[in-house]
Structure 1
Amino acid sequence: MIDIHKVPSPCYVMDEALLRKNLSLIKSVADRAGVEIILAFKSFAMWKSFPIFREYIRYTTASSVYEARLAYEEFGSKAHTYSPAYTDTDFPVIMRCSSHITFNSFSQFRRFYPMVEAFGEKITCGIRINPEYSEVEVELYNPCAPGTRFGVTADLLPETLPEGIEGFHCHCHCESSSYELEHTLQHIEEKFASWFPQIKWLNLGGGHLITRKDYDTEHLISLLKNLKARYPHLEIILEPGSAFTWQTGPLVASVVDIVENRGIKTAILDVSFTCHMPDCLEMPYQPAVRGAKTLPVDAIKTALTEENVYRLGGNSCLSGDYMGSWCFDHPLQIGERIVLEDMIHYTMVKTNMFNGIHHPSIAIWHTDNTLEVYKDFRYEDYRDRMS
């Protein structure tokens, strides 16, 4: 277990033992179901940890030219790449770094497929499909919401797919269960199965939270085995993001000040929600804090002083850079460590340097109980982004 007092503040720190536990489960599911499960960089791209990942998985998925390069140059295998729109500038590099390329539209396919044909190495191409079904409730994360820019609906597919389309890619989930996948598959098969004889692979996208405690992995394995039995010629691919690093480490922060206004106490931290935990404000959700009870947001407005209820505030100048409420078992003190749980996925890949605020370090706690700091951020990192 991570010794928090040996971790610098602020710092994202991943627990290698917990990571390996997740990776072992994912590999077991993939092997038993006979499918390929690959890592989505949009959730996690801490490349110095890739040697650990390579012990369990072979491939990754990219959504941009930089992610594709990361797959090829740092993970050591070519990416399964999808982007809403490729550009003439990026596409040659995308081809060099990708084994699979999925197009979002037929106009993009027609524009770039001649370049794929002229490329000296084999690349398999696909089209993103939209089954017009998703159980994702937060519209910000719903790729099948009405008016979405993602994918092609069944009514727009020609009876015979264009030469060069060898796969379908579909992404409809966000931290979803196997039962939501089951419902989605019913819609996919109902609308798109007539084209399955023309394709070689089916990518079921991400959002499969396989490593969550209540996830029914046996149901998932059965679901995927039955899918393969119905379409034995299809290679089935899943590309979860959060599942790989779910509950594998916290963001360690410190209290730098405590202020009170109209009876509301705010512990100001050396981290920022808007800079370092943006999903908390976007979704929104309150992260678990070690040693504290998460309360309803407005609970602080009626809390008694002796109840040790606090908001946690970020150190940016954004007025809304705070969350709350949390109840602690003691009055917080300046300098005290605050451990924000489960902060390895969709954090480092989305952070920013708004206000020039110091970016948390990135580290891993190894299985031999040693800390390795992968990256410390300095003034030059901020300066060099600006010009």
Structure 2
Amino acid sequence: MTDLTQRNDIPSPCYVLEEEKLIRNVTLMKRVQDESGVRIILALKGFSMWSSFDIIKPYLHGATASSVWEAKLAAEMDKEVHAYSPAYKQADIAELKNLVNHISFNSINQWHTHREALGGISMGLRINPEHQEADTPLYDPAAPGSRLGIRASELEGVDLTGIEGFHCHNLCECDSFATERTLKAIEARFAKWLPSLKWLNLGGGHLMTRAGYDVEHLIATLKDFKARYPHLDVIMEPGSAVAWQTGPLIAEVVDIVENEGKIAILDISATAHMPDVLEMPYRPAILGAGEPGEKAHDYRLGGNSCLAGDVIDTYSFDKPLEIGDRLQFEDMIHYTMVKTTFFNGVEHPGIGILRSDGTFDLIRQFSYEDFKGRLS
């Protein structure tokens, strides 16, 4: 890991995208595309740092959006724009029809409601394979009772004239074997409809850039599927995988208090700046830190908001922490940045890019006006 805590050109707090690591990820994805024949697009819900679009454009086919605003942002990449949302209003469709190339509907009713307004756009349906792979219930679209996707039983006897594709998303940071099992589940339940389609979107959750991921198996799995359905344009839309391990969040110790142990209060907030820490929950890695008791000095790390539960976790360090010390929270670029809030008016982290040549570009710092602009 690159230690950025000592660089005085990087402010605190700040999210830092490392350009070289992003290029590494999209280069691998281009290899998957070239060798398997699939097309990969960026899911903006996981990574929508538009200042990096110029880096990504040469490698991927475009982006996918979950809302009108994301579709507008995707259009700025000047490549393909795909869209899916659980439900669209008429006003949404009026804007999307001028932005997207593909659109997937969550229900037959949504398709029937909006299809007449979308002439010339490739339309699809989101299917529910009723096959679970996600480990965290909060992120499992195929869980029983899910509102996301149409089950095979609901398509029986339905005239699908005008539907060109199916969209399936049931993975969350999964391996290639989960993709293989999902394809088998799709074939088991939806095989009768596949010959009449033009495309199949396998959604996101394919964490192909994670260390240890079996890329060769993924390529072989996709090639095998395409050999059975050569007419299908197979699309994948990862979010996490694009920005996986591409940069940290830099934070600073503002104060140290004691209550059944030492507590370091930082210039960031778990609830405002890394909400998945509380929602999943999960424990982010910190450069140079260990588990409680592993190193000489334990500290519970807390955020700088008034929420009593704004606590990240307990970590150990080789040396005592001091006010002004900086900490580097690893892998904070995917999903974390897109879910931040201005809760409590806590200082919002800046956003910067560490270029491949070692220079740092501070792309954005936030101000009171940004905070005020979200209110009325």
Pairwise same-fold verdict (TM > 0.5) = yes
C-alpha displacement at 1:160, in angstroms? 5.5
Code of the aligned partner of 1:129: I
Code of the aligned partner of 2:115: Y
1:252 aligns with 2:221: no
Native 8 Å contact 1:22 1:211 kept in 2: yes
Structure 2 CA distance for aligned equivalents of residues 334 and 227 of structure 1? 56
C-alpha displacement at 1:89, in angstroms? 1.4
Code of the aligned partner of 1:163: T
Native 8 Å contact 1:95 1:116 kept in 2: yes
Partner SS state of residue 147, structure 2: coil
Match of 1:273 in 2: 270
Residue correspondence of structure 1 range 152-191 to structure 2 within 5 A: 152-159=150-157, 161-191=159-189
Output one character per residue of 1:268-317: Cα deviation in whole Å (capped at 9) or x when no partner.
10000100001111111100000101x2xxx5xxx59x930111101011
C-alpha displacement at 1:183, in angstroms? 1.2
**TM-score, normalised by the number of residues in structure 1:** 0.94
Code of the aligned partner of 1:67: E
Residue correspondence of structure 1 range 1-387 to structure 2 within 5 A: 1=2, 3-4=4-5, 5=7, 6-72=9-75, 74-117=76-119, 122-159=120-157, 161-262=159-260, 264-293=261-290, 295=291, 299=292, 307-387=296-376
Structure 2 CA distance for aligned equivalents of residues 359 and 96 of structure 1? 34
C-alpha displacement at 1:324, in angstroms? 1.6
Code of the aligned partner of 1:139: P
Structure 2 CA distance for aligned equivalents of residues 124 and 161 of structure 1? 17
Structure 2 CA distance for aligned equivalents of residues 77 and 315 of structure 1? 40
Partner SS state of residue 292, structure 1: coil
Structure 1 CA distance for aligned equivalents of residues 157 and 355 of structure 2? 53
Native 8 Å contact 2:4 2:328 kept in 1: no
Q: Which runs of 5+ in 2 are unaligned?
A: none
Structure 2 CA distance for aligned equivalents of residues 11 and 89 of structure 1? 36
Native 8 Å contact 2:3 2:287 kept in 1: no
Partner SS state of residue 162, structure 1: coil
Native 8 Å contact 1:2 1:369 kept in 2: no
Provide the aligned length of Structure 1 versus Structure 2: 373
Code of the aligned partner of 1:43: G
C-alpha displacement at 1:159, in angstroms? 4.1
C-alpha displacement at 1:374, in angstroms? 0.9
Native 8 Å contact 1:251 1:343 kept in 2: yes
Native 8 Å contact 1:206 1:241 kept in 2: yes
Native 8 Å contact 2:61 2:80 kept in 1: no
**TM-score, normalised by the number of residues in structure 2:** 0.97
C-alpha displacement at 1:184, in angstroms? 1.2
C-alpha displacement at 1:161, in angstroms? 3.9
Output one character per residue of 1:328-381: Cα deviation in whole Å (capped at 9) or x when no partner.
001000000010000000011100000011110000000111111111100000
Native 8 Å contact 1:275 1:353 kept in 2: yes
Structure 1 CA distance for aligned equivalents of residues 177 and 80 of structure 2? 31
Structure 1 CA distance for aligned equivalents of residues 159 and 15 of structure 2? 46
Output one character per residue of 1:122-165: Cα deviation in whole Å (capped at 9) or x when no partner.
21000000011112121100001111100100001034542211
Structure 1 CA distance for aligned equivalents of residues 3 and 123 of structure 2? 43
Code of the aligned partner of 2:179: L
Structure 1 CA distance for aligned equivalents of residues 136 and 333 of structure 2? 21
Partner SS state of residue 98, structure 1: coil
Native 8 Å contact 2:3 2:328 kept in 1: no
Output one character per residue of 1:74-120: Cα deviation in whole Å (capped at 9) or x when no partner.
21124110000001111111111100000000000000001113xxx
Distance 1:2 1:14, change over 3 A: farther
C-alpha displacement at 1:57, in angstroms? 1.2
Q: Which runs of 5+ in 1 are unaligned?
A: none
Partner SS state of residue 338, structure 2: coil
Is the helix fraction higher in 1 or 2?
1
Structure 2 CA distance for aligned equivalents of residues 238 and 342 of structure 1? 22
Native 8 Å contact 2:107 2:126 kept in 1: yes
Partner SS state of residue 227, structure 1: helix
